[in-house]
Amino acid sequence: MKRNLLFLLVCLFVSGIHAQNYKELFEKATRCEEADSLVQAEKYYREALKVEPTNAHNCMIFSNLGRLQYRMQHYQDALDSYNYAVNMAPLTVPILMDRASLNFEMGNTDRAYVDCCTILDVNKNNAKALFLRAYLQSGKHLYKEAEADYKRMLELEPQSVSGRLGLSILYQQEQKYKEALELVNKLIVEMPDDAELYIIRAGVEKEISQLDFSLMDLDKAISLSPKSANAYVLRGEILLSQKKKEMAKLDFEKAIQLGTSRSDLIGQLKECK
DSSP codes of every residue in 161-217: HHHHHHHHHHHHHTT-HHHHHHHHHHHHHH-TT-HHHHHHHHHHHHHTT-HHHHHHH
Under the banding of pLDDT at 50, 70 and 90, the label for residue 16 is very low
Give the architecture-level CATH label for domain 192-273. Answer: Alpha Horseshoe (1.25)
pLDDT of residue 45: 82
Give the residue range(s) of CATH 1.25.40.10 domains in the chain: 56-123, 192-273
**Fold exhibited by the domain 135-190:** 1.25.40
Whether 69 and 81 have beta carbons less than 8 Å apart is answered as: yes
Tens-digit pLDDT profile for residues 251-270: 999 999 999 999 999 999 99
Under the banding of pLDDT at 50, 70 and 90, the label for residue 9 is very low
Tens-digit pLDDT profile for residues 132-189: 999 999 999 999 999 999 999 999 999 999 999 999 999 999 999 999 999 999 999 9
Q: Class for domain 56-123, per CATH?
A: mainly alpha
CA dist., res. 61 & res. 49, Å (int)? 8
pLDDT of residue 217: 98
Tens-digit pLDDT profile for residues 175-233: 999 999 999 999 999 999 999 999 999 999 999 999 999 999 999 999 999 999 999 99
pLDDT of residue 14: 43
Tens-digit pLDDT profile for residues 90-100: 999 999 999 99
